């Protein structure tokens, strides 16, 4: 029998990191000590008080049964408390919060609730790839809004053609941004809300990095801006904030109709997050946030070493005030792929070529600050020996 995959699988974009992965495997094979700045996955452990909370919760047999579809009430209340304390935003835990199996899960399912065949999602790009693959899975198409340096890596909404805006149902944005590390202010979010109201577009703000910020900068929530809750939702995650990527715990908050649509899809797909994990999540959100401050101070040291080193070797790069990514221009005469391959072959350093996040990322490469300071020092020293 011939196994034929569905069109939506055949239509998946080619995996752009395949070549890098292949080269990396080849170089590791040769015994090179590879420094991997490619993947954005915290190297630091989950704080002990959160682990202790899980240990206790898992001993309680009542957590062993099916969780509620939309999330434990106690967890959703903790999310509402955290939003109030952190952003001054009031949320109704009953209707404006849904627990997610990591925010990726919610982002991937949302278009199924709001996209019909042929509808468009507006996707700021370069970006986290899930926004457009999820749109495609739902039968829609993505229209990419390029993020350019001259616009501080914010999409230019005034330049979206009228007919495109008319067909759009969703707008995906993400600040602090992966991969560019750009940040957004209230003025930008106000423009987003105007745009959403004018064209009846649901705003999906991915806020995975609001807690990783430096130099006194405090990222805002989209929902802090008046009118935001009428037009959209915000995705959040415990993954990056508390070094919990493996735990799979996130949430979406905001417009009750959007939250409910996402919840309807989810209740037909999954059966919620293990209650013991949600209980540990309550501990994370309700406890002292000193562990987050400590995290940030570690990333800040790493950032300073890396960016100072990149500048010294002549790269055009700025210190990010948020996220754990550094987004650098490639040197003149190189494409993203060519420079990433040079770093790997000549210096044993893995970075992500910018075009892997979309065409508008060409000319850049991304480094994640998720390796120890001494390894970053080593990476910088190796780069200093290269000729480019």
Which residues of this protein are in contact with ligand PLP, per CB under 6 A? 40, 102-104, 128, 174, 178, 206, 208, 237, 239-240, 245, 250
Q: How far is the CB of 338 from ligand PLP (least distance, A)?
A: 25
Pair of tokens at residue 166:
């008319």
Q: Find out whether 303 and 327 touch, Cβ atoms under 8 Å.
A: no
The residue (of 38 and 102) whose beta carbon lies closer to ligand PLP is 102
* φ and ψ at residue 374, rounded to 5 degrees: -65, -30
Torsion of CA 71, 264, 100, 273, to 10 degrees: 50
Please, which residues bridge with residue 120 across strands? 141, 168
The pairing of beta strand 168-174 with beta strand 202-206: parallel
Shortest gap between Cβ of 360 and ligand PLP (angstroms)?
16
Q: What backbone torsions phi and psi does residue 43 show, to the nearest 5 degrees?
A: -85, -15
> Which residue lies nearer to ligand PLP by CB, 101 or 136?
101
125 in Cβ contact with 357 (< 8 Å): yes
Q: Pick between residue 182 and residue 208 the one whose CB is nearest to ligand PLP.
A: 208
Cα distance between residue 54 and residue 166, in whole Å: 47
DSSP SS3 for 286:
helix
Q: Which is nearer to ligand PLP, 41 or 346 (CB)?
A: 41
Which of residues 280 and 380 has its CB atom nearest to ligand PLP in the complex?
Answer: 280
Nearest approach, Cβ of residue 265 and ligand PLP (Å):
16
CB of 30 to ligand PLP, least distance (A): 31
In the complex, the smallest distance separating the C-beta of residue 248 from ligand PLP, rounded to whole angstroms, is: 7
**What tokens appear for 291 in the block?**
């562990």
Other Cβ atoms less than 10 A from the Cβ of 283: the count is: 19
CA 268 to chain centroid: 25
CB of 107 to ligand PLP, least distance (A): 6
Distance of alpha carbon 144 from alpha carbon 133, whole angstroms: 12
239 or 278, CB closer to ligand PLP?
239
């Amino acid at each position: 029998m011939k196994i034929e995959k569905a069109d939506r699988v055949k239509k998946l974009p080619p995996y752009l990191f395949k070549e890098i992965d292949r080269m990396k495997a080849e170089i590791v094979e040769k015994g090179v000590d590879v420094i991997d700045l490619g993947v954005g996955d915290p190297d630091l452990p989950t704080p002990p008080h959160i682990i202790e909370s899980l240990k206790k919760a898992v001993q309680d047999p009542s957590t062993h049964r099916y969780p509620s579809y939309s999330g434990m009430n106690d967890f959703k209340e903790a999310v509402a408390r955290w939003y109030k304390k952190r952003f001054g935003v009031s949320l109704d835990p009953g209707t404006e919060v849904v627990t997610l199996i990591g925010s990726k899960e919610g982002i991937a399912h949302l278009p199924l609730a709001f996209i019909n065949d042929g509808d468009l999602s507006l996707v700021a790009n370069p970006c986290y790839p899930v926004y457009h693959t999820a749109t495609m899975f739902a039968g829609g198409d993505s229209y990419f809004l390029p993020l350019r340096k001259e616009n501080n890596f914010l999409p230019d909404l005034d330049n979206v053609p009228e007919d495109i805006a008319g067909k759009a149902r969703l707008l995906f944005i993400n600040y602090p941004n992966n991969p560019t590390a750009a940040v957004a202010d209230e003025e930008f979010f106000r423009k987003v809300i105007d745009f959403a109201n004018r064209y009846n577009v649901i705003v999906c703000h991915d806020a995975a990095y609001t807690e990783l910020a430096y130099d006194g900068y405090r990222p805002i929530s989209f929902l802090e801006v008046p009118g935001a809750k009428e037009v959209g939702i915000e995705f959040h995650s415990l993954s990056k904030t508390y070094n919990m990527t493996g735990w799979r715990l996130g949430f979406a908050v905001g417009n009750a109709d959007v939250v409910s649509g996402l919840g309807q899809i989810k209740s037909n797909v999954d059966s919620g997050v293990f209650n013991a994990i949600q209980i540990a999540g309550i501990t994370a959100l309700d406890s002292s946030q000193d562990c987050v401050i400590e995290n940030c101070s570690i990333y800040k040291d790493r950032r300073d070493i890396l960016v100072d080193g990149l500048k010294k070797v002549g790269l055009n790069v700025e210190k990010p005030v948020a996220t754990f990514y550094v987004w650098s221009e490639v040197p003149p005469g190189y494409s993203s792929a060519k420079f990433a391959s040079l770093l790997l072959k000549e210096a044993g350093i893995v970075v992500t070529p910018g075009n892997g996040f979309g065409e508008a990322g060409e000319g850049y490469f991304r480094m994640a600050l998720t390796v120890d300071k001494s390894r970053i020092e080593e990476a910088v020293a190796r780069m200093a020996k290269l000729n480019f």
